[in-house]
Amino acid sequence: MINGRTKLACLIGSDVSESKSPQIHNYIYDKLDINCRYLNFSLNENELSDFVTSVKTLKIPGFNVTIPYKEKIIGLLDEIDDTARKIGAVNTVKNLDGKLIGYNTDGAGYVMSLKNNKVDIKGKKILVIGAGGAARGILFFLSKENPKSIHIMNRTKKNAEIVIDELKNYYNDIEYGHYDDKEEYDIIINTTSIGMKSSDSPYLFTGKERAVVSDIVYNPRETRILKEAKDMGLKTVEGIEMLIYQAILADEIWFDTSIDSGVLVDDLKEIICT
């Protein structure tokens, strides 16, 4: 119920008209009695600065940031949390009494989605496909869970090497992935947008894999890589869960609360995907 004290939270990006974030956040607000509504705003880059001023003027408690502004927003904020600074991207901003603080909940949300599916990370051999912004956040949080090793494969090898060099500051067992290693992995993660706009797969299965396969693409819910993995009898983790967990983590930051995600996640998966 909207009343005189209802707050507004939002998502900004260049085109957020198809984003599922309002469905997720508004459902959470209804369930947990948080007096807030969540909307999407598509902005041009030259509108970012005015937007940030409006957040302060309207006392908006927080907002999310998506493509292509996760890096660009950093320069407009008052403070960046240590993890978001290391990752180099902000997807969540909290307005703390007029001071805007940037966070990154993408990587942590991804790791929560693996844990929710009882996927152990410690001691495992992981393949990450892609080396963009999403990969950086995911890699940072995966590396904190003590996997045995992480390999990165990417269309442009140089981009993977840059990410590997960055991560080596925190985690040693990371290197470029080689085609011959394919069957060795315990967890295979697609962080590229392949599978979103086309029915292509970023990975060619040999048929001998025994890995858990996960994708951060959530539209379609079952991408080609996930379908092929399922057809081979492999365990899969859908991208929709990362989207839900990063949202829950953002609400925890904005509203200084701890959210019991268990039942919410199952409900939200059904709501978003129908």
Check if the beta carbon of residue 265 is closer than 8 Å to that of residue 245: yes
What is the footprint of ligand ATR within residues 6-35 (CB under 6 A)? none
Q: Which residues partner with 42 through β-bridges?
A: 13
Q: Is 134 in the site for ligand ATR (CB under 6 A)?
A: yes
Residues 231-262 as b/e (b if ≥16 CB within 10 A, e otherwise) read ebebebbbbbbbbbbbbbbbbebbbeeebebe
Q: Is 239 in the site for ligand ATR (CB under 6 A)?
A: no
Please identify the residue of the shown chain whose CB is closest to the bound ligand ATR: 132
Residue 125 annotated as catalytic: no
92 vs 95, which CB is nearer to ligand ATR? 92
Bin 113: left if φ > 0, else alpha if -120 < ψ < 50, else beta.
Answer: alpha
Q: Is 159 in the site for ligand ATR (CB under 6 A)?
A: yes
Which listed residue (193, 232, 235, 273) binds ligand ATR by CB under 6 A? 193
Provide, rounded to whole angstroms, the least separation between the CB of residue 152 and ligand ATR: 9
At residue 96, the 3 state secondary structure works out as: strand
Residues 108-128 as b/e (b if ≥16 CB within 10 A, e otherwise) read bbbbbbbebeebebeebbbbb
CA–CA dist 144, 112 (Å, integer): 13
Provide, rounded to whole angstroms, the least separation between the CB of residue 66 and ligand ATR: 9
Given 70, 94, 124, 182, the catalytic residue: 70
Contact letters for ligand ATR, residues 58-97 (x by CB under 6 A): ---------x------------------------------
Question: Tokens 């991560």 — which residue?
Answer: 167
Which listed residue (155, 168, 210, 230) binds ligand ATR by CB under 6 A? 155
User: Which of these ranges, 18-26, 104-112, 131-139, 252-260, lies near ligand ATR under the rule CB under 6 A?
Assistant: 131-139
* Residue 225, phi then psi, degrees to nearest 5: -60, -40
Interaction site with ligand ATR (CB under 6 A): 67, 130-135, 154-156, 159, 191-194
Residues with a known catalytic role: 70
